[in-house]
């Protein structure tokens, strides 16, 4: 892939099981990214350097996933003018994920963080691709194809359930 335009960061290795979904969808949509670990609490100097140098490295969007107190997305957003998408991660030290959701969602005025659902890294990847696609026609076309495929899956499911009834159709998407 070409030079990364999306940065994917997470607070720890344990977040990878969720955050890999952002990487997978970006690969499917052919959006170059770079993934790494940046802890707001354990490596604050690394976090500061990452946030302050992201634009000069060519990044256009940052996806930041964190569990527990989830300070990473907001702290990174406070040090860059790039859009930051926060992914609350339900972690072992989490209060059923709500602490992560609220820590990312309830940012003070002037420091926005776009927030997706708990463990919603796939949607964070799609949102990042949409941001990039606003200025990159090839990414926009890949997104259009992806969304057309989603539509076709729904129509196929609808046809199946209408023909076979609910007992004869596969459950799920």
Q: Say whether 53 counts as a known binding-site residue.
A: no
Q: Say whether 55 counts as a known binding-site residue.
A: no
Residue 26: CB partners within 8 Å, gap ≥ 6?
6, 8, 32, 33, 125, 128, 129
Q: Say whether 14 counts as a known binding-site residue.
A: no
Q: Is the dihedral of CA 140, 142, 148, 150 positive or negative?
A: negative
List residues forming the annotated binding site for substrate: 12, 15, 42
List residues forming the annotated binding site: 12, 15, 42
């Amino acid at each position: 892939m070409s030079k990364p335009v999306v940065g994917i960061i997470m607070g720890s290795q344990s977040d990878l099981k969720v955050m890999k979904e952002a990487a997978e969808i970006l690969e499917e949509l052919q959006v170059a990214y770079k993934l790494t670990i940046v802890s707001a609490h354990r490596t604050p100097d690394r976090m500061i350097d990452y946030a302050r140098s992201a634009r000069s490295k060519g990044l256009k969007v940052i996806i930041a996933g964190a569990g527990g107190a989830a300070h990473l997305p907001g702290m990174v957003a406070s040090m860059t003018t790039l859009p930051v998408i926060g992914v609350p991660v339900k972690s072992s030290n989490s209060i059923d994920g709500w602490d992560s959701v609220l820590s990312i969602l309830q940012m003070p005025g002037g420091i926005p963080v776009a927030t997706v659902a708990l463990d919603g890294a796939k949607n964070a990847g799609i949102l990042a691709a949409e941001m990039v696609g606003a200025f990159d026609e090839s990414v926009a076309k890949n997104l259009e194809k992806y969304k057309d495929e989603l539509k076709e899956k729904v129509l196929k499911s609808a046809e199946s359930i209408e023909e076979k009834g609910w007992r004869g159709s596969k459950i799920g998407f």
